[in-house]
Structure 1
Amino acid sequence: MAMTVYKYQAQALMRDYLLADPLVPYTSVLVGIVLCKMAYDLTRILSSFYFKVYSSLTKIQRVEWNNRGMSSVHAIFITAISLYLVISTDLFSDRLKGPITFRNSIISTFALGVSVGYFISDLAMIFWLYPSLGGLEYILHHILSVVAIAYTMLSGEGQFYTYMILISETTTPEINLRWFLDTAGLKKSNAYLVNGILMFVAWLVARILLFMYVFYHIYFHYSQVVQMHAFGYYLTFVVPSVLFVMNTMWFMKILKGVKKTLSKWP
């Protein structure tokens, strides 16, 4: 009986507060920030128990270790949601009538808010510990992400393109694993080599080829894109373009790193 009461109370909380249409953007951002804190602390606790190298790290290395654990959790979450909404649902399907640029749902808006909460949290840490957790390129990347995701969350416009771009977060766990292995002194391990190859392939697919498809889609749906508000219209072109340039520059570095690693491998 008590469990039934708690169940109804939880459902009422979700319906009347967390998922109430006017409150979704704000509660979701708050949820994202809280989840980031939880992921950060959980990474710290688990790492102290299961990874001996963690105790030998410097204070700033531990902070970065925990931060990368947090970012990996976000990447897995937002990639899964993005793939689900883009591929497994009809929200952005061509079978539906009406401009794809104006389609949204409570779930899609809530997930974007969680992502905004993450980028705000991570950006705050980057500023607080600058430049230990990243330089100007990371700040630019995160500011563009916050502005673009927050706009599409609040306006409901362009969520399809936002989720297509967010699929690129699938490369984050590989990047973080590379840092973990390097920090743990496993740069010569097979795991490091395999992860490097996976990172190269994932980056090529999710941050180069996928972006090309996004540009292709925008071109052939320009009549729908042009219906967006001016700010959203410009974001649709500016943000993917800037990120694509940054992705290409980073990809060249990854390519050089893979070549260097393979040349030294026995």
Structure 2
Amino acid sequence: MAMSLKTVMAIKSYQSQADALVKNYLLADHFVPFTSVLGGMLACKLVYDLTQLVSNFYFKSYLGLTKIQRVEWNNRGMSTFHAIYISIMSLYFVFWSDLFSDQRHPGLVTFQSSTLSTFILGISVGYFLADLGLIVWLYPSLGGMEYVVHHTLSGLAVAYSVFSGEGQLYTYMVLISEITTPEINMRWYLDTAGMKRSCAYLINGIVIFFAWLIARILLFGYTFYHVYLHYDQVIKMHVIGYLLVFGVPTVLGMMNLMWFAKIVKGLMKTISKR
């Protein structure tokens, strides 16, 4: 009984020490950016491995893929998971949270942030680092220069928001566009599985068209409009943040228009064949 009591007390002691470690170090305000970025990279590795494990057991077409196709298959599973995660959180912070509300907070909207909003963006930075590293390592098998530019700009902009606390609202606005990633990945999965002529492929193409139009064309226009309305606050940001607020959405917006033209062309070609 005495040994049992000592064991319980020892466990409670270790638990208290672990809680103190997490609270005072891992989740302390000045450690949150580093903890979240590292956590994002580890989460990507975990999802990558789980995608590989599940695909081996449940997808027959996976076994017939080449080595590089399997890497891309797993990589797209990882990007799909990140896209769902960051899209939900971005929609919450932009449209439902009071964190960036002009009415609820007297401060400048461009400088509003919280421990939670910083942590969530840090996870996204970890993803961009992991995915960019894989793209560069296997270049150009997983994507050409446009993917390198996209991930580099996105990663830099998100990282600046994480470590400076500036412009997090606009970062979340742009990250809503990740909502189109699962559909793009599904298109690749269907094509790789030999289902390019299926109804599922056509429906997915239509979903891509509308999702891209809303999240990557119209929403970007709304972002620029919001910046215009709050320009007196944007101009007070550090020069780096100021340039990122204008430069990154502009470059990504042009890339979105270029990709949208290809999406429209591909969808019209698929429909005409049917």
Q: Please give the TM-score of this superposition, normalised by the length of structure 1.
A: 0.96
Computing the radius of gyration from Cα coordinates, the structure with the larger value is 2
**1:233 corresponds to:** 242
Residue 54, structure 1, aligned to residue 62, structure 2: yes
Matched, 1:158 2:167: yes
Provide Cα deviations, 1:108-134, integer angstroms capped at 9, x if missing partner: 101111111100001110111000001
Partner residue, 1:203? 212
> How many equivalent pairs are there?
265
Deviations 1:147-182, CA, capped at 9 Å, x for gaps: 111111100000000000000000000000000000
The percent of aligned pairs where both chains have the same amino acid is: 64
For residues 192 and 227 of structure 1, do their structure 2 counterparts lie closer, same or farther at Cα, with a shift above 3 Å needed? Answer: same
The CA distance in 1 between the partners of 2:72 and 2:49, in whole Å, is: 12
Name the CA distance, whole Å, in 1 between partners of 2:51 and 2:14. Answer: 30
Name the residue aligned to 1:83. 91
For 1:84, the aligned partner's letter is Y
Question: Which residue identity lines up with residue 105 of structure 1 in the other structure?
Answer: S
Say whether 1:21 aligns with 2:32: no
Specify the alignment match of 1:260 in structure 2.
269
Change (3 A) 1:163 1:10: farther
Q: 2:60 corresponds to which letter in structure 1? A: K
Over 3 Å counting, the alpha-carbon distance change for 1:260 and 1:13 in structure 2 is farther
- Return the alpha-carbon distance in structure 1 between the equivalents of residues 12 and 198 of structure 2: 52
| CA distance 1:58–1:21, shift in 2 (3 Å) | same
Q: How far did 1:190 drift?
A: 1.1
Letter in 2 for 1:133: L
1:137 aligned residue (137, 146, 149): 146
Cα drift, residue 89 of structure 1: 1.4
Residue matched to 2:232: 223
CA RMSD of aligned residues (A): 1.5
What does residue 111 of structure 2 align with? 102
1:9-62 CA-partner distances (Å, limit 9, x unpaired)? 664443223221110110111000000000100100011111100000000000
Instruction: Tell me the secondary structure at the aligned position of residue 130 of structure 1.
Output: coil
